[in-house]
Amino acid sequence: MAFRTIVVPVFALITILLEIQICFSADISRADFPHGFTFGTASSAFQYEGAVKEDGRGPSIWDTFSHTFGKVTDFSNADVAVDHYHRYEEDIQLMKDLGMDAYRFSISWSRIFPNGSGAINQAGIDHYNKFINALLAKGIEPYVTLYHWDLPQALDDKYKGWLSTEIIKDFATYAETCFQKFGDRVKHWITFNEPHTFTTQGYDVGLQAPGRCSILFHLFCKAGNSSTEPYIVAHNVLLTHATVADIYKKKYKNIQGGSLGVAFDVIWYEPESNTKEDIEAAQRAQDFQLGWFLDPLMFGDYPSSMRSRVGNRLPKFSPSDAALVKGSIDFIGINHYTTFYARNNSTHVIGTLLNDAIADSGTITLPFNGTKAIAERANSIWLYIVPQSMKTLMNYIKQKYGNPPVYITESGMDDPNSIFISLKDALKDEKRIRYYSGYLSYLHTAIKDDGCNVKGYFAWSLLDNWEWVAGYSSRFGLYFVDYKDNLKRYPKQSVQWFQNFLKPKPAK
């Protein structure tokens, strides 16, 4: 998640604005959005499917990481998850009941190539063929993510995964196999989900798979180099995406009629004060998140602030690589959940201690200004509900990147999973309704009033699911999953809200 700044501080009026947006959004519906605007829900294979040892699937780095003691807060794993692998027909019906147009899901690389490369696993191909056909039979458009963090463990063992340029060829083979097998029906491809997240969390601070870092002299991680590896991984990801995009453009795009993009994590950064230092810090925070990946794809190189601050640790694009990377996306996916304050880091203590990519930005980003929170919090410690930033972010992308086609590929909020909350009370998710109402209202104004070129919105998520290092402690779903009773699905109040929102307004 990552972004930028607006000059005028707005959060002193947060309570008033929330009240205004609730009233303002009361009558908003699908009909207020442009004709053909797509509404859907989003998921990922590792968080949903389960069945990790069935039908020839090979292990991924997240299988290894989640089975390592102390890596997941509730000590759970995703071996079963929400059993979407077996229950997909039931879940597709839930999407249909909601009135959704589309479903964004990821393909498990190790179901197609159990070892990351080599022989194709036909059972994996068969599963996703059946799944895609089942979606289309219900009138639901598939939006397919090729990589949602679950790197085949075999490739991490073989050459350290994303740290090696060898991965470019293996991923390209995997991607092209998917184009060949599914591209006659899949018209929207996302090569990578949140490259910034898995780059920094996996190779800088070590909090996600594969858990590499050098923070505090390897007391936290067994291996890694936080000052160089994130930049190497990011560079290889960009070259991999560009290689795949080139293959798709030359061999499949005209025949299959599809499009291809990347989904970026984007927290909006609000300057903590009106000082020049904090305004510039918010921009740097944006550069080191969204700009790190999107600037090369749009302009052919990394942001100048990264070049000046990272120096020789930041890889360089050759002229041919820059030409390959630049312009290699048809649309931009934005995963937007929340907003933080950003302030200039005037001390070098943090940078000296961490010596990593996050400290390189010279910013401190927190959801607090002193002791005051930026807004109402959801369950996750990082997720605060600031709906007006959706409009600000869309305008930032429009102005900086020339108003490209954008899909909101993830957006949503979580409630806690607590043994002290009854099922009846867990289904009363008024805060989630308030979240979606607010964020969609501001998205609507960005499109209608400001001309932002947004094409769709995907709610995270259809179901409560396994939330990475948070395990099952966090519930993002529109449908409640009863982990104690055969994973039964129950509609929360937000389901009815979406059903009302998505149905056409009656003619006057």
- Catalytic residue numbers read 194, 410
Q: Which residues, listed in sequence order, are joined to residue 457 by a DSSP beta bridge?
A: 39, 408
Alpha helices in 12-120, H assignment, sequence order: 14-24, 45-48, 61-66, 84-98, 109-112
- Do 496 and 81 touch, CB atoms closer than 8 A? no
- Do 230 and 201 touch, CB atoms closer than 8 A? no
Q: Which residues, listed in sequence order, are joined to residue 482 by a DSSP beta bridge?
A: 488
Neighbours of 67 (CB within 10 A): 13
Q: Which amino acid is at 155?
A: L
Q: Which amino acid is at 446?
A: A
**Burial of residue 288, with CB atoms counted within 10 A of its CB: 0-12 exposed, 13-18 middle, 19 or more buried:** buried
Cα–Cα separations (whole angstroms), residue 232 to 45, 65, 206, 316, 423: 26, 21, 15, 10, 46
User: Rounded distance, CA 420 to CA 27, Å?
Assistant: 35
User: Rounded distance, CA 357 to CA 231, Å?
Assistant: 8
Peptide bond into 361 cis (omega under 30): no
Q: Which residues, listed in sequence order, are joined to residue 249 by a DSSP beta bridge?
A: none
User: Rounded distance, CA 291 to CA 273, Å?
Assistant: 22
Q: Which residues, listed in sequence order, are joined to residue 38 by a DSSP beta bridge?
A: 456
Half-sphere exposure for 53 (CA within 13 Å, toward CB): 2
- Do 395 and 449 touch, CB atoms closer than 8 A? no
Specify the DSSP element, H or E, that contains 501.
Answer: helix 493-502
User: Rounded distance, CA 137 to CA 128, Å?
Assistant: 14
Residues in the chain: 508
3-class state of residue 304 by DSSP: helix
Cβ within 8 Å of residue 320, ≥6 positions away: none
Angle between helices 195-203 and 229-251 (to 10 degrees): 150
Residue 69, token pair as written in the block: 């003691």
